Structure formats: C-alpha cells, structure tokens
Structure 1
Amino acid sequence: MIGHNHRYWWYDSRFSIYGFNAFRSKVGQLEAQVFQEKNAQSLLTDNMQTFLNAKQQYERATTAIDKQTAIAAWQTALNQFEQIPGQTLAGKTVQNQLDNYKREFQEVIGLAAGNDRISALITAARQFSWQAAKAGQNPPHTVTEWRQIENLWIEAIERLKEIPSKDVADYTKTQKLLAIYEANLGQVKVRRQAEADAVEALERAQREIESLLASIPADAHDGERNRVLSQLQSIIHQLEKVQNGTTTYLKAQELLLSANNKLRQLQIK
C-alpha cells in the first residue's frame, strides 16, 4: 500500500495535467524561438545579398539613373536590416554593423549629390561658353556686344571655379577647361579694348576734320598751309590707330585715303 501510494505520488508530480501543459508550453516557446532564429537568419542572408548587390550596382553604374536606382535598392536593404528582430542572433549580428553600413551609405549619398552638383556646374559652364562662342562669331562687334560676350565667359569661368579641388578627376578636367575659357576671355577683352580705342580714334579724327574744314581760308598762305599739313598729319595719325576687325575700320580707311590724297596735294604745291 505504501508502494502503491508512492507510485501515484510520483506519477502525480511528474505527469499531472498541469505539469504536462507547462512542459508543452515550454516546448512551444522553444520551437517558436528556433523558428524565429531560422527566419531571422534567412532574412539576414537574403538581405545581405541584396545589400551587396546594390553596392556593386552603384559602383558599376555609369548613368545618373542607374546610380539613383542602386541607391534606392541600397536604402531598401538598410531598412530591411532594421526589420530583423533584435533579440535574435542574426539581429544582434547585423545591429553591430548597421551603424557602419548607414555611415557608409550617407557618405555615398553625399558623394553622389556632390557629383551631381559638379556635373551641373560643368554643364552650366559649357552652356555659357557655347553662348559666348556663338555671340563672338562674325565680328566686328560693338563695345557693348564685346562686353556681353565677356560677361558670358566670366559666367562660365565662375561655374568652373566652384568645383572643389578635392575631386581630383573632375578638378583636373575643369582646370583644362578653365585655362581655355580664361584665354578666350583674355582675347575678348583685347578685342573689346581695340573696339573702344578705334571708336575713340575715329571720333577724334572726325572732330579734327570738321575743325580743319571750317578753318581753311580760300587763299591760304604758306604759314596757313603748314598748319593744315600739320593738322592733316594728326588726322592721319588718329585714323591709323583704328585696327582692322573693328566696326569703324572701313570708315577710317575711307577717311584715311582722302586725308592722304589731300596731304599729297598740299605737299606738291
């Protein structure tokens, strides 16, 4: 009887309904944890491949659209990493590296934005240079027109100067463009100054011609003739300052021919 009670006591403590349910609950929890760990590990493995593929896609991208597509995939992968439960081994593993992954991504985003800005600056510089070159065709041009062309070259140069020297590849390329643009600007400045000098010289010569015509008497004596000769030589000197390629050149050549003819006539007398 004692043995029989002892057996029931042992049975009750080890295999009671309460004990069985508790045991089954524990097993269920363990199974759920195992499932969660497997699922988390699967998510980590799959997303890690997506993450690496996105990085490679970005590195190989040659167009702005391809780069943006890769960046979007990269961002999605980072978001998926955060969805892995932190209490799992896989979650703890990725959490240790996630800050580094995010930091790297932000650096790339900044670089991409910088590259986009550099491309935009180079494009703008080329557009201004094209407008300047187009406006400079078929000279001569007035001082005002040369100044407008000059300003277009300055705008192109200013865009290139905004590109930072730390970007070695683009900086080297832009320095070559910058040298060309600055040389073109220098030529335009020379042409603009030549035009301004030509206009001034022609105007001075025309004023002297008007003064001379108004002061020549009908019966000029030798002293008066010498004064006219001297004034004609001054007029010729002013007209010879007018350079070819300026808006006043043809007019200056016409007046110069007349002045030289008149000078020869007076010298013969």
Structure 2
Amino acid sequence: MYRLNQRAWKILFAEVKKCSGQDQISRIELEIVIKRLEKLRQEKGSPAQIDELRDTVIDIYPQFSEKVLKQAAKANQAPGLFAKIKWVTIILGGSVGVVWLVNLPYPMIRRPVAKVAPILLLPSYMSMDYHYRGVIKNLQQADQLINRATSPADIEEGAKKVKAAQKHLDNLPVWFLGYYPQSYCSLFGCSWKFTLDEFEAARQQAARIEAIVFQDQNALTPFHQGEMAIKLAKQQYEQATSSQDREKAIASWQAGIDQLEEIPQQTLAAKTAQSKLKAYKRDFENARIGNFIAAAQEFDLAAEKLKLTQSQTASELWRQSINRINQVPVENPRYLEAQKLLAMYQGKIQSLVDPNSSKMIAGAKQFALAAAKASQNPPHTATQWQQIAKLWSTAIDQLQNIRVEEPGYLEAQKLLATYQTNLGIVETRLQAEIESQSFLKQANEQIQSLIASPPTDPQQFQGQIQGIINQLNTIKPGTTAYAEGKRLLALAQQRLKH
C-alpha cells in the first residue's frame, strides 16, 4: 500500500495549481511541492494523515485550503472494514461457509489466505486480540493478588485468575504467532504483536504463578494444623491436674510450634505464622517453666508425707524437685522464686541425713540471702554496709559451728569460703565509703575556708583550688559521696580555668 493514493493526489494537485503563480519563482515552488507529493506516492506504508499532508504544502503555500486537506486525507484512507466485507461477500457470493472454512485452525489453509485476502481471517484476528488481552489482564491481576496477598481469599482469587489466563493462552493459535495481522491492525489500531517469545514468557509467568498458588495453598494446611495443635495443647495444659498431664500438653504445644516453623518462608502462611510465633513461644516458655516449678512442688508434697517412714524415697523425691528447678534459666522472671525453692529442697535432703548441721547450714543460707538482698542497688551508706557485713558474719559464725565429723561439714566449708569472700568485699566497700565521706568533708571544709578568706595572690588562690581538686579526686566511685564529689570537682575545674 502506497502512502498517497491516486484520488488524494488529484485533489491535492488541483489545489496546488490554484495556489501557484506564473512567474519563475512560482514555478520553482510548484516543482518542490510536486516532488514532495510524488515521494509520498512512491513510498509504501501506512497512509499519510492530514498533519503530514499539511506539512508538505503549508510552508510553500500558507493559503492552502484546509478543506481540501481534509478531503485529501479522507480520500487517502484505506477502504473501510464494511467496504472490504462487502467486496468479499460479493466475491464469495455471500458464502458464510467459506469464511468459516478459512478460519479453521489449519496452517495450510490460513497462511495462503493471510497473504492474499487477510480480511477473511477477521474472526481469527478478533479472537486472537480477545484472548491475548485476556492473558495480559488476568496474569497482571493474578500477580498482584498472589505477591501482595493478605488473606487466603487473595490466594484463592489469584488461582482463579491464573486459570482464566491459562484458558486464554490455550485459545491462542500458536502456529500464527510469527505473523503480524497488518490488515486488522490498520483497521483497529492495535499496538500488540504476537511473538513466540511473548507467548512463551506468558506461559512461564502463568506456570510460575501456578506454582506459587500451589505452594501457598499447600502451606495453609500445616498452618491450620499447627494453630489447632497449639490451641488444643493450651486447653489440655489448663485442664491438667498433674505434672505428667502438663508434660504431655507441653509436648503437643512444642509440636505445633515446630509445625509452624517448618512452613516455607516465602508463603503467606509462613508470614502469618511468624507474626504469631513470638506470642506462642512466650506462652509456651511460661508454661514450660511453670510446669517445672509445679512438678517440683508436687514432688515436695509427696516427700513430706514419706520423710518420717520412708526417708530414702523422700530424699529421692526431693532430688527430683531439684532436677526440675535446675532447668529454670537465669533470665526467666521466676528464677529467684526457683532458687528459693532449690535452697529449701536442698535443706530438706540435708535434714534427713544430718539434722543438726543441716539446720545450721539452712540458717546460714537465710542470713546470706538477707545479706545478698541488702547489697543490691548500691551505693549504700557506711551504716548500711556495716549491717550487711554483720549479716555475712552471722552466716559465717553459723557455718563455723559445724564440726569436722558432721556429714554437713564439707558443704559448710564450701559455703564458708564463699561467704568470707563476700564479707571481704563488703568490708572493702565499707572502708571506701568511710574514706570517701571523709575526703568529701575535708574538701567542703577547704571550700568554705576559701570562700570565707580568699587569698589576694592569684597564684596562691589557684594553688588552693588545685588542692581541693586533688582532694575530690580521691573520692572513689560506687560510694554515696561520689556524685556530690563529681559535682564539686566540675565547679572547681571551671573556677581553675578562669
């Protein structure tokens, strides 16, 4: 198809002649415009539109009629769809059967027709356009639903869109993918091209989304199973009346958490599970630690009933209590409670084999526990450190009363070494507190003296300030005087700079 047909050429040529003059310059201008129009007549491609026709003449003939340009542009258009259909209908004698025949999916029929009478393949082109757009639309929607899913309903809807896209793909005539329907596109202005690469890319994208959907849907099963297992385990734990029943519930609880953690990470189910696992694990850990303590208390109650008649069995039960308590980690909030129980159970075992020394050891531990509590959150005053030292000394005195021949002597010696070390630390802190308070007092006296009678000699004044600074630097960290000493030190150093 040439870009300027004969009919449009005649319309434009007639107007050009009207606009042209008779002088030499006018003849040159006429020749230029004629050459431009001839060039369009010889070029093959899409028909020239009104803007291109106007550009061809308007610079030479500004007075060129706009009405003529519109007539020429209209005349230059390819025959309309209905004209072609009418022509084909006349040629075929109105035979609809022939149109149906050439649109059958057989390359040996359709390829020759596509070359000589592509208009006959209009139903195929329209079908291709419909299914192609269906592929693109459904794949885009499926991709959005799957990759940005917030609920199982999104996954389900995405699966439907993938199936719809796959159905459209199956209806595309693969054999025709390398042939561009020029006639159809010239009529409807389509911007797509059916290529094998594009078709394969759509196939691959559909397969990839199908795989994601399959994996997401499969992941929902262990997700629901894991959540159900955890829910049932919580109920069993709350309804349990013994440590054995609680242990069974905890085992089921752990299995449910493990099932959630094994879900593939890239799935929606895994993302949902991760947001809940932290709470599940926290509740599980609290239940597990609670069961250790509850089981230890159950063993203790059983041991109390048997200690007078079956001391060996009672001792073994208390050892079971100790084993449970030892499983409470230091970072758990119930650790201090567990340690108190541990000390109590250890004392009860000792009381079975050595009532006298066990009582002394138990008493010493109580004084030691009181001293440890009182030592928390320093700094403390000298009076407080003295009280703490007294508690450690009392605990030490209790242990020193246990004789070598008594069964609890070895344990007493171990505790004695620890308590004496702790007493030494407290005495050191006490001495540091006393000295620091003394240094602070002396520094304050020097400051008051300097304020009351400051020396007139600047060097002497600076020397006294430096002496105060040296005095304040002797105050030790960790004492009640340290904070005030740091404040006075900063003021003295600032004064020394001035």
Shared fold by TM > 0.5?
A: yes
What TM-score range do you get, normalising by the shorter chain? 0.5 to 0.7
Question: In the alignment, which of 22, 43, 58 is matched to residue 127 of structure 2?
Answer: 43
The yes-or-no answer on 1:81 pairing with 2:172 is: yes
**Residue 218 of structure 2 corresponds to residue 130 of structure 1:** no
CA distance, structure 2, for counterparts of residue 49 and residue 86 of structure 1:
15
Q: CA deviation at 1:113?
A: 1.7
Deviation of 1:108 (Å): 0.7
Q: 3-state DSSP class of the match of 2:307?
A: helix
Mapped contact 1:40–1:84 kept (Cα < 8 A): no
Which residue of 2 is the match for residue 205 of structure 1? Answer: 304
TM-score by length of 1: 0.58
Pair 39,94 (structure 1): closer, same or farther in 2 beyond 3 Å:
farther
2:137 aligned residue: 53
How far does residue 119 in structure 1 lie from its aligned partner after superposition?
2.7
Is 1:144–2:244 an aligned residue pair?
yes
Q: For 1:89, what is the secondary structure of its paired residue?
A: coil
Cα offset, 1:137, TM superposition? 2.3
Deviations 1:157-176 (A, max 9, x none): 11221134445x76554333
Choose between structure 1 and 2: higher helix proportion.
1
User: In the alignment, which residue of structure 1 is the partner of 2:118?
Assistant: 34
Q: In the alignment, is residue 181 of structure 1 matched against residue 304 of structure 2? A: no
Which amino acid in structure 2 is aligned with residue 208 of structure 1? K
Q: Distance in 2 between matches of 1:30 and 1:106?
A: 32
CA shift, 1:37, in A, is 4.6
| AA at the equivalent of 1:45 | D
Map Cα deviations across residues 143-169 of structure 1 (whole Å, 9 max, x no partner): 2211121122212211221134445x7
Matches within 5 A, 1:1-269: 33-35=117-119, 37-58=121-142, 59-60=144-145, 62-82=153-173, 85-86=176-177, 88-90=179-181, 93-138=194-239, 141-166=241-266, 171=270, 173-211=272-310, 230=355
Distance change in 2, residues 1:108/1:29 (3 Å) = closer
Aligned equivalents of 2:226 and 2:300: distance in 1? 36
Letter in 2 for 1:107: R
Using the TM superposition, give the Cα deviation of residue 111 of structure 1 relative to its aligned residue in structure 2, in angstroms: 1.4
Distance 1:96 1:33 in 2: 27
2:178–2:194: 8 Å Cα contact kept in structure 1? no
Give the number of the structure with larger relative contact order, counting CA–CA contacts within 8 Å between residues 6 or more apart: 1
SS at match of 1:93: coil
Q: Whole-Å Cα distance in 2 between the matches of residues 197 and 191 of structure 1?
A: 10
Note if contact 2:250-2:284 (Cα within 8 Å) is conserved in structure 1.
yes
Secondary structure in 2 aligned to 1:106?
helix
Contact 1:55–1:74 (Cα < 8 Å) also in 2: yes
Change in Cα spacing, 1:203 to 1:104, as seen in structure 2 (3 Å) is same
Counterpart for residue 222 of structure 1: none
Residues 61-118 of structure 1: per-residue CA shift (max 9 Å, x gap): 844442332122111011112456357435x824231111111111111211222233
Determine if contact 1:146/1:192 at 8 Å carries over to the other structure.
Answer: yes
Pairwise CA distance, 1:32 = 6.6
The alpha-carbon deviation at position 30 of structure 1 amounts to: 6.9
* Contiguous gaps of at least 5 residues in structure 1: 1-27, 213-226, 238-269
CA 156–33 in structure 1, closer or farther in 2 if over 3 Å, else same = farther
| TM-score of the aligned structures, taking structure 2 as reference length | 0.33
Q: Give the superposition deviation at 1:205.
A: 1.9
- Count of residue pairs brought into register by the alignment: 189
Unaligned runs of 5+ in 2: 1-111, 147-152, 182-192, 312-351, 363-498
Tell me: CA distance 1:40–1:30, structure 2 relative to 1, closer, same or farther (3 Å): closer
Mapped to 2, the partners of 1:80 and 1:45 lie a distance apart of 11
* Displacement of 1:129: 1.6
Deviation at 1:43, TM superposition (A): 2.1
CA distance in 2, matches of 1:160, 1:75: 32
Q: Structure 1 residues 36, 147: CA separation in 2 closer, same or farther (over 3 Å shift)?
A: farther
Letter of the 1:206 counterpart: K
Task: Give % identity.
Answer: 10
Which segment drifts farther, 157-166 or 124-133?
157-166
Cα–Cα, structure 1 residues 73 and 130, in superposed 2: closer, same or farther, change >3 Å? same
The 8 Å contact of residues 44 and 84 in structure 1, kept in 2 or not, is answered as no
The secondary structure found in structure 1 opposite 2:263 is coil
Distance 1:36 1:123 in 2: 56
Instruction: Tell me what 1:246 maps to.
Output: none
